[in-house]
């Protein structure tokens, strides 16, 4: 076991020696952030695994309170309204980075509870790639963090009401001009808050291919409105079913027409009631 540990350390040292100054700087930045979040110990080692019951490992999508506005709903509305703009493309690129990071995760191990400086608690199992220091995961998470650093905010206040103040987070820096009520910076903030709420997977495009974004109130919802029926009508299964139905219908109509012609040649007193063929 000691030999394997020494080989692992020598492999890590060889990787560090092959890095450029820029890569070393990014590596140190990632390590600092992981230590601050409790993902690593101060010496860079992974935290000890915590025992957790099997019940705690069952992942069930939380039921949403439909009366509470969600950040994902505002983001989906903005994505549809800004379709085709440069702002939309940049926000979609950030969303793609979130998805790429998630795609690198192959499994989860020990449960973890992290509390930020505001007392917000993040709980769940830790990805194996975080604990093992997977290079692909680190590269993608570093790229995501660089994209998010472009969006800066400052706390803005408008006026005092009787008991409280009116204010909002105002964008600053590049592309920060607030020409509209909801801007690119606001979309990024909604995306960030949605990810922290664990609801990023609920932000989806309608599966029928119409390109409309929506926030799924139910985890099994993949279409908007009647687009499920429209999608099925254009599918190969429906066309095959429809072709079979029409073939049976035309065959039955032909049989009815033939019987109708036969009845014309039979005296009225000898005719039998016309019945519909049964499949």
User: Tokens 């027409």 identify what position?
Assistant: 257
Please tell me the distance from the alpha carbon of residue 88 to that of residue 80, in angstroms, as a whole number: 9
Task: Name the helix (H) or strand (E) containing 169.
Answer: strand 165-172
Residue 86: predicted pLDDT: 93
Cα 101 to Cα 195: distance, rounded to the nearest angstrom: 12
User: How far is Cα 94 from Cα 157, in angstroms, rounded to an integer?
Assistant: 28
Confidence of residue 88 (pLDDT cuts 50, 70, 90): very high
Separation CA 228–CA 77 (nearest Å): 20
Contact 221, 211 (CB under 8 A): no
Cα–Cα separations (whole angstroms), residue 41 to 34, 35, 153, 198: 9, 6, 31, 25
Rg of the chain taking only CA atoms, in angstroms: 30
Per-residue confidence at 30, pLDDT binned at 50, 70, 90? Answer: low
Residue 103 to residue 105: CA distance in whole angstroms: 5
pLDDT tens, residue by residue, 49-85? 444 444 343 445 555 665 678 899 999 999 999 999 9
181 has a pLDDT exceeding 80: no
The yes-or-no verdict on residue 143 having pLDDT over 90 is: yes
- pLDDT for 57 equals 39
Locate 127 and state its tokens. Answer: 């990805």
Contacts 24+ apart (CB under 8 A), 214-217: 214/76, 215/70, 215/72, 215/73, 215/75, 215/76, 217/64, 217/66
Long-range contacts of 35-40 (CB under 8 A, 24+ apart): 37/114, 38/112, 38/114, 39/112, 39/114, 39/126, 39/130, 39/131
The one-character DSSP state at 165 is E
At residue 187, does pLDDT exceed 80?
yes
The helix/strand/coil state of 18 is coil
Mean predicted lDDT score pLDDT of the chain: 77
Model pTM?
0.62
CB 165 within 8 A of CB 129: no
With 50 as the cut, is the pLDDT of residue 1 above it? no
Copy the structure tokens of residue 61: 């999508």
Element (H, E) at 7: helix 2-17
The per-residue pLDDT for range 224-275, each reduced to its tens digit, is 877 776 666 677 776 787 778 888 888 888 888 777 777 666 666 665 655 5
Q: Which residue has the tokens 């309608």?
A: 206
Q: Where are the domains of the chain?
A: 26-44+52-218, 235-270
């Amino acid at each position: 076991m000691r030999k394997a540990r020494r080989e692992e350390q020598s492999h890590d040292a060889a990787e560090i020696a092959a890095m450029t100054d820029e890569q070393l700087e990014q590596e140190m930045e990632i390590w600092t952030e992981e230590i601050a979040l409790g993902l690593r110990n101060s010496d860079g080692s992974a935290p000890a695994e915590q025992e957790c019951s099997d019940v705690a490992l069952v992942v069930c999508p939380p039921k949403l309170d439909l009366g509470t506005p969600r950040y994902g709903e505002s983001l989906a509305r903005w994505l549809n309204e800004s379709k085709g703009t440069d702002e939309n493309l940049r926000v979609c690129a950030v969303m793609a980075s979130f998805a790429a990071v998630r795609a690198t995760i192959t499994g989860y191990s020990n449960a973890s509870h992290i509390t930020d400086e505001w007392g917000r608690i993040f709980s769940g199992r830790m990805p194996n790639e975080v604990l093992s220091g997977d290079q692909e995961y680190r590269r993608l998470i570093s790229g995501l963090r660089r994209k998010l650093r472009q969006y800066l905010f400052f706390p803005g206040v408008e006026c005092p009401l009787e008991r409280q103040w009116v204010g909002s987070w105002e964008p600053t820096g590049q592309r920060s001009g607030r020409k509209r009520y909801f801007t690119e910076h606001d979309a990024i903030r909604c995306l960030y808050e949605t990810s922290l709420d664990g609801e990023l997977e609920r932000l989806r495009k309608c599966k029928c291919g119409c390109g409309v974004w929506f926030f799924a109130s139910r985890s099994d919802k993949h279409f908007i409105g009647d687009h499920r029926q429209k999608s099925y009508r254009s599918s190969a299964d429906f066309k095959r079913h429809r072709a079979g139905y029409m073939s049976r219908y035309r065959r039955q109509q032909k049989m009815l027409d033939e019987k109708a012609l036969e009845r014309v040649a039979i005296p009225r007193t000898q005719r039998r009631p016309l019945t519909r063929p049964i499949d």
